[in-house]
Each structure stands twice: as C-alpha cells, then as structure tokens.
Amino acid sequence: MPPEPLRGKSIVVTGVTGQVAEPVAVALARDNQVVGAARFRDEAARHRLEGAGVRCVPIDLSTGDVADLPADADYVINFAVAKSNQWELDLQTNSGGLAWLMEHHQGATAFVHCSTTAVYKPMGHHVFAEEDELGDNHGIWPFLRTYSICKIAAEATARWASERFDLPTTVARLSVPYGDRGGWPAIHLEMMINGSEIPVHLDAPSVYHPLHEDDIIAMIPGLIGAAATPATTVNWGGDQAVSIEEWCGYLSQLTGVPARFAPTRDTIDSVQIDLTRMHELVGTTTVGWQEGMRRMVAARHPELQPG
C-alpha cells in the first residue's frame, strides 16, 4: 500500500532552486509548511517559490550557515549539491555542510539525503544493488571530476550522523531525474537542436533509469517512511531501463530533429540498477519514459511538436 500523502507537516527542502528540488517543494507546500533552503542567487527562482507558498531561507553549507532553518522541522529533504569542480570546496560543502545540517536537525522525525547512482564503480552492464562496490563513476568527465567522490563522502557523513544523532535517515541514490524543468534528456535534446554529437559509451547501449519529476514527488513520503537508524540506502530510479540511444531516438521521432552519436570511451558507462529494495520500501513508478519525454518536449519546445 502506498504511503499516505504528507499533510500538516513542517518540511525543510534544501537545494530548493535546483531542477529536482523546486517541484518537490512546490508540491509539498500545497498541504504542508515548507521551508526552502538555498543560497538564492537566482531571484526569479525565489519569487516562484514564494509565490507557491514556500518560505525561503538563505543558507550556506560551505560554511555551515544553517542556523536560520527551523530546528524543530518534522522532516528534512536534502537535495543540495556543490559542483564547483574544486576539491576542497566541494568536499567541505557536500560532506561537511551535510554534517552541519543533520546536527541542526537532529530532532527531526526523518531525514532524506539525495545521493546518486554516480557513486557506483563503472562495471559495464552490471546491474547494481545497493551493496555493490563504489567508485569514481564521473571522474572521466573533466567538468565533474569531484562529483562522484564527493557524493560518496556525503553518504558516509549521512550514515555517521544518522547514528551519532539517532536521526532516522534514508540515503536515496537517484538515477536520471527529468521533467518539464529539464534533466539529462533535455540537455540531449538541446544538443540535437544545436547539431552537436551526443557522447555514448563504446560499450553500447548506455543504459540508465530515467525518473520523471511526478514520480520523484510521489515517492517522497515513501522515502521518509523508510528512514531508519542506521540509515537506509536505496536505489531510486524509473522502473524502465532505457538507453541514451533509445531516448534520443524517441526525441528525434517526436521532433523531427536528428540525433547524432559519438561513441567513445571518454564518457560515463551504463549505470543500470536493481530496484528490488525501492519497490519494497517506496513502490513503483507510474510515468512511462516515453510519456514523460513527450511531456518534456511539449513543455520545453512546443514549436517542435507535430501539428
């Protein structure tokens, strides 16, 4: 049975101006008191959030500046991530900042930390379970060389803090999030429109589990309900395993824009995941990948829709 929707709760959502966190915060704010936390360098995003009923509170995880957040919040959902590509800053923000955040909210009923399937060691077409080996998945990309290692470090912090503060925690390893606000498939669509080649691994096909924002929102109560001490770790992705080649081909069918691929070893490999634990704890997804990407195209490029 799916968990009951959240109503009448006090919820902190960090990284709230990001692609994933903003629709989550807006959806939760319909029936809850939601505090959105970020640096708020984007004033337009702040205005959108406030207009949707989200109370915005500036924080800086790089310095541990979280004191203005309500320490008595029922739940905390951490989507914040630093990707400056500077090792010291990104480790300090993603790992150290998380420690400050969890200490501040040690009285919460549950804490959800959003991690990533990019923590898994590249292993071709292996299907990853939560206990599998971790490694520098994204290190091959010069513009994201700190990402995987910092995410692994943050997971270790989350597990430590969960036990240190007796704070029930879920570590959710998110696959490819996408929707009307963007995501990796949306980036690929822009590359197609610009005539750019899309890198795909030579060990084809490049398979992932795209997860639509509607399912991300729907699964938040389940992730909260799965929180435990020691922390629960769970893969979090769409039920359908889909390759970059497949979804770009479908985007081409929808728009008439050709997809051109550049097979290479200098890109990330497939990250296919075992969703058994997710199904047991959180449930199944409802938005099929073709439906979700059709909606994404309609929202972002209606001029490319037939008719």
Q: What is the pLDDT of residue 2?
A: 59
Instruction: Copy the structure tokens of residue 272.
Output: 């296919």
Q: What is the pLDDT of residue 50?
A: 97
Q: Where are the beta strands (DSSP E) in 209-278?
A: 210-212, 232-236, 242-243, 261-264, 272-273
Q: 52: Cβ–Cβ under 8 A, 6 or more apart, which residues?
A: 25, 26, 29
Residue 130 lies inside a defined structural domain of this protein: yes
The whole-angstrom separation of Cα 37 and Cα 58 is: 6
Q: What is the pLDDT of residue 307?
A: 52
Q: What is the pLDDT of residue 42?
A: 85
Q: Can you give the CATH number for the domain in which 138 is found? A: 3.40.50.720
The whole-angstrom separation of Cα 126 and Cα 274 is: 10
- pLDDT over 90 for what percent of the chain? 96
Q: What is the mean pLDDT of the chain?
A: 96
Q: What is the pLDDT of residue 87?
A: 97
The whole-angstrom separation of Cα 194 and Cα 301 is: 13
Mean pLDDT for 216-221 is 98
Q: What is the pLDDT of residue 139?
A: 94
Strands 169-174 and 207-208, by their bridges, are unpaired
- pLDDT over 70 for what percent of the chain? 99
Residue 277 lies inside a defined structural domain of this protein: yes
Counting the structural domains of the chain, the total is 1
Radius of gyration (Cα) for the chain, nearest Å?
19
pTM above 0.95, yes or no: yes
The whole-angstrom separation of Cα 188 and Cα 192 is: 6
Q: What is the pLDDT of residue 188?
A: 98
User: For residue range 98-110, what is the model confidence (pLDDT) as tens digits?
Assistant: 999 999 999 999 9
Mean pLDDT for 83-106 is 98
Residue 185 lies inside a defined structural domain of this protein: no
Strands 242-243 and 207-208, by their bridges, are antiparallel
Q: Where are the beta strands (DSSP E) in 15-105?
A: 33-38, 55-58, 75-78
Residue 162 lies inside a defined structural domain of this protein: yes
Q: Please give the residue range of the domain that contains residue 166.
A: 10-177+212-237+273-285
Residue 16 lies inside a defined structural domain of this protein: yes
User: For residue range 227-258, what is the model confidence (pLDDT) as tens digits?
Assistant: 999 999 999 999 999 999 999 999 999 999 99
Residue 149 lies inside a defined structural domain of this protein: yes
Mean pLDDT for 195-205 is 97
- Strand, helix or coil at 34? strand
Q: Where are the beta strands (DSSP E) in 154-302?
A: 169-174, 176-179, 182-183, 198-201, 207-208, 210-212, 232-236, 242-243, 261-264, 272-273
User: For residue range 290-305, what is the model confidence (pLDDT) as tens digits?
Assistant: 999 999 999 999 999 7
Residue 92 lies inside a defined structural domain of this protein: yes
140 close to 268: Cβ distance less than 8 angstroms? yes
Residue 142 lies inside a defined structural domain of this protein: yes
Mean pLDDT for 149-158 is 98
Mean pLDDT for 82-93 is 97
